[in-house]
Amino acid sequence: MAATKLRSLIVLASAAALVITVPTLATAQPGGGAGDGDYEIALKSRTFTPSPGIDEQGIRQGKGPRDDVHFYAQFTDLPNAPRRAEIAGQGVDLLDYVVGNTYIAVSSVSDLDTLRELDDLRWAGPIAEDDKISPALRRGEIGKWAQAGKGRILISAQGHADIGSDEISALVERGNGEVVSETEATRSVIAIVAPGQVRELSKADPIQYLAVVEPRLEGQVDMSGPTSAWTPSGPRPTTSTAPE
C-alpha cells in the first residue's frame, strides 16, 4: 500500500513539474514621476511600501564576505537594459522583476557597499523567510494528494534565476528530504520533506519559493503558478516587463 501511494505521488510530481512556472511578474509602468503608490510591494505574504534607504545589515546577516546574497532592490524608475548592464558592472545583477519598481537582485556580500553608489536605487532590503513560503504551506493546509506518509509532505522548491535545480536538490537532501524530480527550466524540484524542513529551507539564500504541490486537471495549466511569491497588480505580461 505504501509503495503504491509513493508511486502515485511520483506520478503526480512528474505531472506537476511540467506546469510549474517562474514567478508571475507584475506589469511595470516605466517612465514619468513616481509617487509612493508606485513603490508598493504586494507579495503573497505581505504588502508594504519600504522607506528609502539601504538595509545592508539585514541583507548581509549571517553571510560571509565571499558569499552571494539575494535581496530586494527598488529603483526610483525602472532601469533600462543599458542601465541594468551598468549596474551589473558594479557587481549587482538584477534577476526577476517583482513589482513596484523592485527586482530580486544578487551580489557578493563584499560588493554590497556599491549599492550606495547607485543614485537611482531607492531601497534595498532582505527577502524575509515568510516571503518564500506559500500561504497554504505556512498555514499547514496540506491536501491528501500532497501527504507522503510518515507525516511528510510533497512540496515544490524553486531557486532564484541564477540558481540551478541541482543546487536546490542538494539543499533538500542535506535536510534529509527526498528529491522526486528536477525541472532545470524553472530551477525547481519536487520533493518529499518533513514539515519542519520547510522553515529551514526558507532560510537558505538560494531558495526563492516553497509551495505545496497542487493537483492539476488534465489539460489545465495555472499560469499564476504555485511558485509565484508576489501578487500581480496588472495584466500578465508576455515578455519582460522592464524597459529596453
Name the burial class of residue 85, with classes exposed (0-12), middle (13-18) and buried (19+) by CB atoms within 10 angstroms of its CB.
exposed
User: What integer pLDDT is reported at residue 152 of this predicted model?
Assistant: 96
Please give the chain's pLDDT, 244 residues, in tens. Answer: 444 444 444 444 443 433 333 333 333 333 344 555 689 999 999 999 999 999 999 999 989 989 999 999 999 999 999 999 999 999 999 999 999 999 999 999 999 999 999 999 999 999 999 999 999 999 999 999 999 999 999 999 999 999 999 999 999 999 999 999 999 988 999 999 999 999 999 999 999 999 999 886 433 333 334 444 544 333 333 333 344 5
Whole-model pTM over 0.85:
no
Q: What is d(CA 176, CA 5) in angstroms, rounded to the nearest whole number?
A: 20
CA quadruple 68, 73, 75, 79: dihedral sign: positive
Whether residue 6 is found in the same domain as residue 45: no
Q: Which residues contact 160 (CB under 8 A, 6 or more apart)?
A: 70, 95, 96, 104, 106, 187, 206, 207, 208
Whether residue 75 is found in the same domain as residue 193: no
Q: What is d(CA 156, CA 100) in angstroms, rounded to the nearest whole number?
A: 26
Whether residue 104 is found in the same domain as residue 135: no
Whether residue 56 is found in the same domain as residue 108: yes
User: What integer pLDDT is reported at residue 35 of this predicted model?
Assistant: 55
Whether residue 20 is found in the same domain as residue 138: yes
User: What integer pLDDT is reported at residue 27 of this predicted model?
Assistant: 31
CATH at residue 72 = 3.30.70.80
Whether residue 120 is found in the same domain as residue 47: yes
Whether residue 168 is found in the same domain as residue 109: no
The residue segments making up the domain with residue 196 are 2-24+131-212
Number of domains in the chain: 2
Whether residue 137 is found in the same domain as residue 195: yes
Of 134, 123, 139, the C-alpha closest to 41 is 123
Q: For residue 223, is it within any domain?
A: no
Name the burial class of residue 99, with classes exposed (0-12), middle (13-18) and buried (19+) by CB atoms within 10 angstroms of its CB.
buried
User: What integer pLDDT is reported at residue 229 of this predicted model?
Assistant: 58
